[in-house]
Amino acid sequence: MSDVRVELRMNAPASTIWLLWEDVANAPQWDTDVRQCTLDGPFRVGTQGLCVLKNGLKMPLQITQVTPLRSYTNTARLLGMRLTFSHYLTPIGTETHVVHAARIEGRLSVLYRPLVRRLLKAAMGQALRNLRSLAEARAVQDTREPLRATR
């Protein structure tokens, strides 16, 4: 069960959104609470990384589940809590239904859950709206690419 769940429909194919998710180094383009994010390897289960938030907090992370073009999950540690972020794509015609969900666990989660839930809901909602803008712009750009004749 998720503590926070935000979702939007995007007028972009799942493949466009997936490419944005895989490009972790450029996540600050759409997740504006993140200053910098890196992975220590490819986008696959077991790969670890680090995100530095705008407030300076460092959040170690690990990718724990990947189903290409459908979903991925990563866990992060922050202030004595374990945060599990799940991301889902469901194509619906020419649109994609996108879900970001978070679960808050750990010894300090009892104290901080209400505050963290409120902060995450706002941050995840904004990130998803930013992701939609970027994905939809890229989808339009992709449809405008000139066709090249093959010989």
The model's pLDDT over 44-72, given as tens digits with 9 standing for 90+, comes to 999 999 999 999 999 999 999 999 999 99
Contact status, residue 53 vs residue 40, Cβ threshold 8 Å: no
Question: What residue numbers bound the domain in which 123 lies?
Answer: 4-143
Instruction: For 69-91, give one letter per residue: b (16+ CB within 10 A) or e.
Output: eebbbbbbebeebebbbbbbbee
Banded pLDDT at 23 (limits 50, 70, 90): very high
111 lies in a domain?
yes
CATH number at residue 16: 3.30.530.20
pLDDT of residue 109: 87
23 lies in a domain?
yes
148 lies in a domain?
no
Does the pTM exceed 0.75? yes
106 lies in a domain?
yes
What are the backbone angles phi and psi of residue 17, rounded to the nearest 5°?
Answer: -65, -40
Contact status, residue 4 vs residue 121, Cβ threshold 8 Å: yes
Give strand pairing partners of 118. none
Considering its fold, how many domains does the chain have in total? 1
72 lies in a domain?
yes
